[in-house]
Amino acid sequence: MMNSTMSNPFMSMMPNMFMPTAEGFIERMAAMPRMIETAKRVKVGATPHDVIYREDKLRVFHYHSDVPKVHATPLVLCFALVNRPYILDLLPHKSVVQQFLKAGFDVYLIDWGTPEQNDQHLTIEHYVCRYMHNVMTHVAEFTDQEQVSLLGYCMGGTFSAMYTSLHQEMIKNLILMAAPVDWTDREALLVRWTDPKYYDVDAIIDAYGNAPTHILQGAFALLKPMANLVEKYIGLYERMNDEKFIEEFTAMETWVNDNIPVAGETFRQFVKDCFQKNLLSAGKMKLKTKRIDLSNITCPVLNLMASNDHLVTCGQSAPFNDLVGSKDRKAVTFKAGHIGLSVGSRAHKELWPKVCEWLGERSEKI
């Protein structure tokens, strides 16, 4: 009689989660209490900080460090409006914030806050021309510097590019991190899914006011359904005895499920002007009647891309270096995913020390 796993190639590849031995099952159940206790101890975004600026829902964090400051030019981190920005400070050993602090930088982070229904009128103009400009001005005054360095991640990188093109005088160095600036790459699933033939953004925002979390996170999960809905739980089952793995898994799940909506008019504008019309890279996008011309960017530019990024493809980020007016510009493609670029162990060993070195060479010294 033929073995059932031999007759079904799919089943032969499935891990022991689906065919557990009694001993394996008992061992994992015995590990459950310790796993729960480990998960309870996890604290995300743990680097000490003060809030040095508030405006509406927005706050600006100033991070503390025992490492003496070496660089006078402050660094501002700008994340997307989707999810919380503590992905840049997830755990002490998986923290972009900590990488810069240990290299002697003075680090700040924008926490956009959570938009409510009365914030649905906020547009990209509000975020880039008002909030970001007020933050950069305040940090410059707070540190007694004329300019700041700016790192923008994902949608926050897109906003950072827009801001720098309008206020190059405020930005000494610009780092983009998995940031889309061109939406013609048909390899990007989100570009296909938001095609106006199929995606009616007006209907969504008119119905909800703000872009709701269940629509946003549902779309992100479906970009890699097996990894997001099946594989990670298989990994959890198989590594229930690994305390470090449980800590990192809990931290990531905390962040992934800590969802926030996006202000309705900002989402409508971003989908229409960027995803559907590709106005930014075409030089036709306007904020407050001012055209966003990326060639106005002349400061040093570092463009970080992830080769396995399923959310923002390299094809959406790479064109940026050819659109800016900077002579000092560099593109780095690193083997990681969209989130792995900020929390991956290999990224923290190999990429971020080099990024800190690049920025240090272009920052004012104390």
- Domains in the chain: boundaries: 49-360
pLDDT at 146: 97
pLDDT at 39 over 90: no
Write a three-state SS string for the chain: CCCHHHHCHHHHHCCCCCCCCHHHHHHHHHHHHHHHHHHHHCCCCCCCEEEEEEECCEEEEEECCCCCCCECCCEEEECCCCCCHHHHEEECCEEHHHHHHHCCCCEEEEECCCCCHHHCCCCHHHHHHHHHHHHHHHHHHHHCCCCEEEEEECHHHHHHHHHHHHCHHHEEEEEEECCCCCCCCCCCHHHHHCCCCCCCHHHHHHHHCCECHHHHHHHHHHHCHHHHHHHHHHHHHHCCCCHHHHHHHHHHHHHHCCCCCECHHHHHHHHHHHHHCCCCCCCCCEECCEECCHHHCCCCEEEEEECCCCCCCHHHHCCHHHHCCCCCEEEEEECCCCCHHHHCHHHHHHHHHHHHHHHHCCCCEC
In this prediction, residue 12 has a pLDDT band, given cuts at 50, 70 and 90, of very low
- Predicted pLDDT of residue 1: 36
Residue 10: count of CB within 10 angstroms of its CB: 7
CATH code reported for the domain at 49-360: 3.40.50.1820
**What is the pLDDT averaged over residues 236-263?**
83
| Residues carrying an active site annotation | 154, 309, 338
Interval 218-244 mean pLDDT: 72
Q: What pLDDT is stored for residue 35 in this prediction?
A: 60
pLDDT greater than 90 at residue 16: no
How many residues are recorded in the chain? 366
Report pLDDT for 33: 61
Q: Could you tell me which residue, 23 or 295, shows the higher pLDDT? A: 295
pLDDT, residue 216, reads 85
Sorting pLDDT into bands at 50, 70 and 90, what band is 327?
Answer: very high
pTM of the model: 0.88
| Average pLDDT score over the chain | 89
pLDDT of residue 26: 60
Mean pLDDT along residues 91-114? 97
Q: What integer pLDDT is reported at residue 215 of this predicted model?
A: 87
Determine the pLDDT at residue 24: 62
* Confidence at 145, pLDDT banded by 50, 70, 90: very high
pLDDT band at 359 (very low <50, low <70, confident <90, very high): very high
Mean pLDDT throughout 45-68? 96
Res 2: pLDDT: 36
